[in-house]
Amino acid sequence: MLPYWLPLLQEAEEHVPTSPFEPEFGVIFWTWLVFGALFFVLKKYAWPAILSATEERERKIAHQLEEAERMNAEAKAALEEHKALVAGARDEASKLIGEAKTVGEAEREAILNRAREEQEQLVDRAKREIEAERERAIAELRREAVDLSLAAASRLVEAKLDDEANRKLVMSYLDSLEQAR
């Protein structure tokens, strides 16, 4: 048997003006109207409540990102500054060391010079003293020699010779010897 509602259904469907493949403008009109209304109603009354937390979070994250970027830049600048400071300090230090080196060098030079001078002076004095000592020794030797020669000569001639006059004679002889040498 037929289900009781089947002819009913068919009868009802006979009022249908279109097949599904024929778009009717009236329905397009309603679609726009309903969609537009839904869009604005949702935008005003529904989305803010649902999205507020997310949007708040997004804003916060964006803000934090900005902050982080700013701080990063600041840190970079500080690091740069610090680096410059360290480099400056190093330059200063090396300059100081260089200065100290030159000063030390000069000082060393001066001390060495002084020492050399002193040494030369010492050597000179010693030389002079040695020279004087030698002169004295030679004179002594010479006098001794004269005395000895005179004593020996007086023994030989067995005559008492005038001391002073003879000494002068011998001295002059010796001088002549020296000059001849």
At closest approach, how far in Å is the CB of 60 from other proteins?
Answer: 15
CA distance to 3, 95, 173, per residue, from 136 (Å): 169, 60, 19
Q: What's 21's DSSP letter?
A: T
The distance of closest approach from Cβ of residue 53 to other proteins in the complex, given in angstroms and rounded to an integer, is 6
Nearer of residues 18 and 179 to other proteins, judged by Cβ = 18
Q: Is 2 helix (H, G, I), strand (E, B) or coil?
A: coil
CB distance 166 to 150 below 8 Å: yes
Cα–Cα distance measured from residue 18 to residue 177, given in angstroms and rounded to the nearest whole number? 167
Among 4, 10, 165, 179, binds other proteins (CB under 8 A): 10
Site map for other proteins, 21-60, x if CB under 8 A? xxxxxxxxxxxx-xx-xxx-xxx-xxxxxxxxxx------
Q: Which is nearer to other proteins, 12 or 73 (CB)?
A: 12
Which residues lie closer than 8 Å to 163 by C-beta, 6 or more apart? 150
Q: Which is nearer to other proteins, 65 or 153 (CB)?
A: 65
Look up residue 131 and give its two tokens: 């020279």
Give whichever of 57 and 168 is closer to other proteins, judged by the CB atom. Answer: 57
Q: Which residues in this chain contact other proteins in the complex, by CB under 8 A?
A: 2, 6-7, 9-10, 12-13, 15-32, 34-35, 37-39, 41-43, 45-54
